[in-house]
Amino acid sequence: MNIPVVDLAEFNSGDPALKAQFVAQLGKAFEETGFVAVKNHSIPDALIADLYEYVQQFFSLPVDVKRTYEIPGLAGQRGYTSFGQEHAKGFDAPDLKEFFQFGQEVIDGDPVKSEYPDNISVEEVPEFTPTLLSAYRAFEDSGNALLKAIALFLGLEEDYFDQYVHNGNSILRAIYYPPITQEPKSAIRAEQHEDINLITLLVGASADGLEILSKKNDWIGVTSLPEQIVVNVGDMLQRLTNDRLRSTTHRVVNPPREKWGSPRFSIPFFLHPKSEMSLACLDSCIDADHPKLYEDYTAGMYLDERLREIGLKK
């Protein structure tokens, strides 16, 4: 499936006409598909290459070494989460993956720092942590620009999201799907789900497998060009917009048998606001034809609920 492609350089161009064109294209793509490919996203190619290099080095470590970075009580929000710990909402079978998560580094004295656990440094791969931090900042910048465009599309002030995403609870997740070594019980590596956050930015993947559920209820494979990132709507933005922007259902399927011996790596950036942000449906998204669908929640309340539903928090 060729998902819609937008050019972030248009939004940042300083040309009002190009900026308005980008806003309209992004909004239309999110309303109709829920996924969009973004070019000129400003995340350097060299940084992406380094990120994948050190991610692969980490997951190549022995299991007992990796497990020293799995910290009880953090609900998988920092450090390593071992194979089979997470499952999709509504499913009991665990996803066939392990992952490492890196979160916000507060450096300006914001009291929100007390809400965030410290990031976990990996001694065996010393370049891993600084590269994760550089990538985190690059994803954050691109994601914040996209949120500005979304705000304009929704008829809000351009800086509507700024106060909520500054020092927000975003997560950079490095995922490893090991090679398939025996006949799998299912064709699914990661069961169908919707993301929790406002938007997700995904830079490539080392193998195909991502599929989205179309409005015709068909599973369609999604690929993007190497110079693009894929961005999708998450559940928090869906709630905020009273389903005007829908969180798209997606999954990861196993490769063809001839490629079972190949691992899959994927590095999504889940853009979260601060926990205090209200997800109450925007007044502008409620009318007689679109009654309010969700009770009022904060982002923190919703994240806590979802982490319990997917098995990361007890």
- On whether the CB atoms of residues 188 and 253 are closer than 8 A, the answer is yes
Q: Which of 23, 5, 26, 28 is nearest to 13 (CA)?
A: 23
Residue 149 has pLDDT above 80, yes or no: yes
b/e 66-79 (16+ beta carbons within 10 angstroms → b): beebbbeebbbbbb
Question: From residue 85, how far is each of 82, 190, 283 by CA, in Å?
Answer: 6, 12, 39
Q: Which of 231, 269, 267, 228 is nearest to 51 (CA)?
A: 267
DSSP conformational letter for 169: -
How far apart, in whole angstroms, are the C-alpha atoms of residue 209 and residue 211?
6
Q: Compute φ and ψ for 107, nearest 5 degrees.
A: -125, 5
Residue 263 has pLDDT above 70, yes or no: yes
Look at residue 155 in the predicted model and tell me its pLDDT: 95
Dump pLDDT digits (tens) for 65-115.
999 999 888 777 899 998 866 655 656 666 678 899 999 999 999 999 999
Residue 29 structure tokens:
């793509």
Neighbours of 245 (CB within 10 A): 23
Residue 25 has pLDDT above 90, yes or no: yes
What is the rounded average pLDDT for all residues in the chain?
88
Residue 54 structure tokens:
């050190």
- On whether the CB atoms of residues 78 and 307 are closer than 8 A, the answer is no
Provide mean pLDDT across the span 183-189: 61
Name the pTM for this structure. 0.91
b/e 124-161 (16+ beta carbons within 10 angstroms → b): ebeebbebbeebbebbbebbbbbbbbbbbbbeeeeebb
Provide mean pLDDT across the span 188-194: 73
In which order are the strands placed within the sheet that holds 5-7?
Answer: 5-7, 35-39, 228-233, 199-205, 264-271, 171-177, 98-103, 79-81
Worst-scoring range by mean pLDDT, 34-38, 122-126, 130-134, 165-169? 34-38
Domain spans of the chain, in order of start: 5-309
Look at residue 101 in the predicted model and tell me its pLDDT: 95
Question: Residue 132 in 3-state DSSP?
Answer: helix
Q: Which of 87, 98, 4, 28 is nearest to 58 (CA)?
A: 98
Residue carrying structure tokens 């980490």: 58
Class of the CATH-defined domain 5-309: mainly beta
Question: Residue 118 in 3-state DSSP?
Answer: coil
How far apart, in whole angstroms, are the C-alpha atoms of residue 77 and residue 114?
15
- On whether the CB atoms of residues 314 and 303 are closer than 8 A, the answer is no
How far apart, in whole angstroms, are the C-alpha atoms of residue 186 and residue 94?
11
Residue 241 structure tokens:
């917009």
Residue 182 has pLDDT above 70, yes or no: no
Q: How confident is the model at residue 168 (pLDDT cuts 50, 70, 90)?
A: very high
How far apart, in whole angstroms, are the C-alpha atoms of residue 270 and residue 104?
11
